[in-house]
Structure 1
Amino acid sequence: MPRLAIVLSHPTQYYSPWFRWMAAHAAVAIRVFYLWDFGVTQQRDPQFQHTLQWDTDLLSGYEWEMVPNVARRPGTDHFWGLRNPELWQRLRIWQPDAVLLFGYNYATHLRLIAGAKRDGLPLIFRGDSHLLGREKLSGPRRWLLRCLYRQFSAVTYVGTANREYFRRLGVAENRLFFAPHSVDASHFRNTPEREAEATQLRQSLGLAHRRVVLFAGKFVSAKQPGELLRAFTEVAEPQRDALVYVGDGPEKAKLEVLARLAPQHCIRFLPFANQSEMPARYRMADIFCLPSRGLYETWGLAVNEAMHMGRPCLVSDRVGCQQDLVTDGVTGWVFPSEDAAAFRAKLAQALSTDIDPMRPTIAQRITGYTYEQTTAGLLAALASLAPKRSPASARPDV
């Protein structure tokens, strides 16, 4: 059985269930090497403005190591936030056949790439960048990225926009493998208990008979929560519609000011919801909205979650998953991210649409985005690698 080392910045609610699934079902031995303990210890998320510790089990069911991070200021918001001098030695001890690396943005990543290149250890890259709305990269950045991706024996892409990104940066077709972004479908599914919880939540908010639009996530300007509130205020019918925000962040104070200008009882705010609470929030809503602009939303896994719960999604054309998951008028609605009038029009259309006929198509579309499909793509990438010598002789001083 091949041995695959996985190098990831920190445990997350999205990837830990996938690793657990692979350990139980896939014909590959995995060990995850974490570079920071964020998510399993209480630490403040500056964008959520909330002390965060996920309430789901992130570390059981698969092999993992927490590699000491010696950064003066640990974090994923700056290049020196991940510094793990022990990583190469620990990889050498485990002797993987290949390494799956998530991202390239930190000091540890570049040291690992250099060491693997020197000692012939194959690398597989996983990232989800896109170029939506950007015609081309600057010359120096384009050259650097093309050089970087040449260091990887295989690259997995998560969707259409991500594939086009890699192709434009020179990654050959025979090195590209589709391993879609996916979430834990067993967690995000409708059950009688979830239905009861969602009904109770609606009643507690006074929204029992309203059509509810949901925004869930970080209240940051790139996600355009204020633009959503303005659009909603202009097109919603006060006695029929409601907008619910779940989360926190630097834009919250502005949102609360705007909400006071809206018709009474139309806007509701719920605090940050941990992973165990989110299914009922999606179930409570009729429509999920992710109106992000720019390059912020490389994919938008919340769309996967909402669709698993049977909810159509209103997204901007800058959300990375849009081309794959959200077909306008079929599984949701799409608007140009910088066009406020188009946003209002699509929101009005969503609020007046009978969404029940959309649900079977939503369910069919999201079935292709599961851990099984993601793992199949990763294993195809692993199988494509030419046999390499064992990294046992690799030097630990990289």
Structure 2
Amino acid sequence: MESSPHPRLAIVLSHPIQYYSPWFRWMRAHTDLSFRVFYLSDFGIRPALDAKFGCEFAWDVDLTSGYDFEFVANVAKRPDTLRFDGLKNPELFARLRAWSPDAILLFGYKYNTHVRLIAWARLHGIPLIFRGDSHLIGREKRSVFASWGLRALYRQFAAVTYVGYANRDYFQAFGVPAGKLFFAPHAVDRALFDPKRAEHRIRASALRKELGLPGSARVILFSGKLISSKQPRSLLDAFIAAEIPDSVLLIAGDGPEKSDLVARASGLVGSRIHFLPFANQSEMPARYLLAELFVLPSRGFYETWGLSVNEAMLMGVPCLVSDHVGCQRDLVTDGQTGWVVPAGDDVALATKLRDALAELKGHGERIRGAATERAARYSYEQATAGLRAAVVEAVP
């Protein structure tokens, strides 16, 4: 299908997101794609409470420079990004009409504004492109009604981008034909997550001293929200059971499970388990540089991808993930770029911890190189190529 030389793409997103803003900036700098981002709230720009982290924060990386965007007023009575009625943006339609896009890229469908936008775009004959990252792993079978509803929903989109294998399988399960699916993977900012940057190494060295870690310590890192779906308790128990000499577990993050984790750790292996608070984006590279192994043992369908795995692998840190983590099939090949464990199996997790550190002792350079090379394929270049192809499909 042929398209106009420079179709105008409106991107509608709930709020500035630390993983997407660098991509938009890269697209503006490196391509002739004509786009504008319409943000439905300013969460992430202003300090706000994240219920799962259990703390108030704003991202410390640049979220708004280097690309065309505008904020659209949110008139919800209780504005937030966790509820369907948390985003209501009646001004959006006038803003879109004024900008006159040839297509609209919609991230998700979970808000009041999303539902109204789908209907509005169909009424005005503007093709829609969908981007999501859901998968079916660890999910109970949906009801017939829910399955019918998703099939009907995805029929409203002229093209769909998928982030990886599990996400592609999800869309195909709900009737999206292969010809309308375009690979636009999740990617992170390689300029930030660069292990060669001197400031990262300086921060890592200072953090090692602050924690009192000896040079021989083999650090296993978990970083994320301390919530049950990410299974930090399982990792803690597996680490204790594994009894790996010279190993240290570093749990970085905040959330409702933190107090229980600290209590569990305090009476056991003591100085071999360390806790760090939530870290903003600019602090994460130093934490990865401390680690020999990154672990994400999530259970259920909540871990739709796991962008911390991209970050860790780009920093040269192999990963051990559960088979419920959405990125596993794409990024982590067992014994080659990392290790895979059945979700919820603490005994297997303890065994894999031992196996991984043993393999890294003998083959660390090869595994680290393979991990970095694999993660580098999931790039802004590839994501943009997939998005371009979706636009060509959508715009007549």
- Normalization by structure 1: what TM-score? 0.95
Q: Which residue of 2 aligns with 1:213?
A: 220
The residue correspondences of 1:48-127 to structure 2 (distance < 5 A) are 48-127=53-132
How many residues are treated as equivalent by the alignment?
A: 386
Are 1:200 and 2:206 counterparts? yes
C-alpha distance in 2 between matches for 1:135 and 1:57: 39
Letter of the structure 1 residue corresponding to residue 38 of structure 2? F
Letter of the structure 2 residue corresponding to residue 16 of structure 1? S
Are 1:228 and 2:235 counterparts? yes
Are 1:156 and 2:161 counterparts? yes
The residue correspondences of 1:377-396 to structure 2 (distance < 5 A) are 377-387=386-396
Q: Is the 8 A contact 2:234 2:344 kept in 1?
A: no
Aligned-residue offset at 1:352: 2.1
Q: Which residue of 2 aligns with 1:316?
A: 322
Aligned-residue offset at 1:353: 2.1
The residue correspondences of 1:236-275 to structure 2 (distance < 5 A) are 236-237=243-244, 239-275=245-281
Q: Which residue of 2 aligns with 1:395?
A: none
Q: Which residue of 2 aligns with 1:17?
A: 22
Aligned-partner SS, 2:377? coil
Q: Is the 8 A contact 2:237 2:346 kept in 1?
A: no
Q: 126, 148, 151: which one pairs with 1:146? A: 151
The residue correspondences of 1:253-332 to structure 2 (distance < 5 A) are 253-332=259-338
Percent same amino acid at aligned positions? Answer: 58
Aligned-residue offset at 1:200: 2.2
C-alpha distance in 2 between matches for 1:357 and 1:265: 31
Segments of 5+ residues of structure 2 without an aligned counterpart are 1-5
Q: Which residue of 2 aligns with 1:366?
A: 375
- Normalization by structure 2: what TM-score? 0.95
Q: Is the 8 A contact 1:179 1:377 kept in 2?
A: yes
Aligned-residue offset at 1:135: 6.5
Aligned-partner SS, 1:298? coil
Letter of the structure 1 residue corresponding to residue 72 of structure 2? V
C-alpha distance in 2 between matches for 1:344 and 1:295: 22
C-alpha distance in 1 between matches for 2:124 and 2:379: 34
Q: Which residue of 1 aligns with 2:194?
A: 189
What CA RMSD, in Å, does the superposition of the two structures yield over aligned residues?
1.1
Q: Is the 8 A contact 2:131 2:160 kept in 1?
A: yes
Letter of the structure 1 residue corresponding to residue 265 of structure 2? A
Residues 1:53 and 1:121: Cα distance change in structure 2 (over 3 Å): same
C-alpha distance in 2 between matches for 1:134 and 1:12: 26
Q: Deviations over 1:57-115 (max 9, x none)?
A: 10110111110011111112111011000111100000011010000011000000001
C-alpha distance in 2 between matches for 1:262 and 1:310: 30
Q: Is the 8 A contact 1:33 1:66 kept in 2?
A: yes
**Range 184-193 or range 145-154, more displaced:** 184-193
Q: 128, 133, 158: which one pairs with 2:138? A: 133
C-alpha distance in 2 between matches for 1:15 and 1:33: 13
Q: Which residue of 2 aligns with 1:338?
A: 344
Q: Deviations over 1:145-194 (max 9, x none)?
A: 00000000000000000000000100011100000110101110112332
Segments of 5+ residues of structure 1 without an aligned counterpart are 388-398
Q: Which residue of 2 aligns with 1:37?
A: 42
Q: Is the 8 A contact 1:236 1:351 kept in 2?
A: no
Aligned-partner SS, 1:44? strand
C-alpha distance in 2 between matches for 1:264 and 1:356: 30
Q: Is the 8 A contact 1:33 1:65 kept in 2?
A: yes
Aligned-partner SS, 2:394? coil
Aligned-residue offset at 1:25: 1.2
C-alpha distance in 2 between matches for 1:367 and 1:351: 23
Aligned-residue offset at 1:130: 0.2
Aligned-residue offset at 1:337: 0.5
Aligned-residue offset at 1:333: 0.8
C-alpha distance in 2 between matches for 1:40 and 1:64: 14
Q: Is the 8 A contact 1:100 1:125 kept in 2?
A: yes
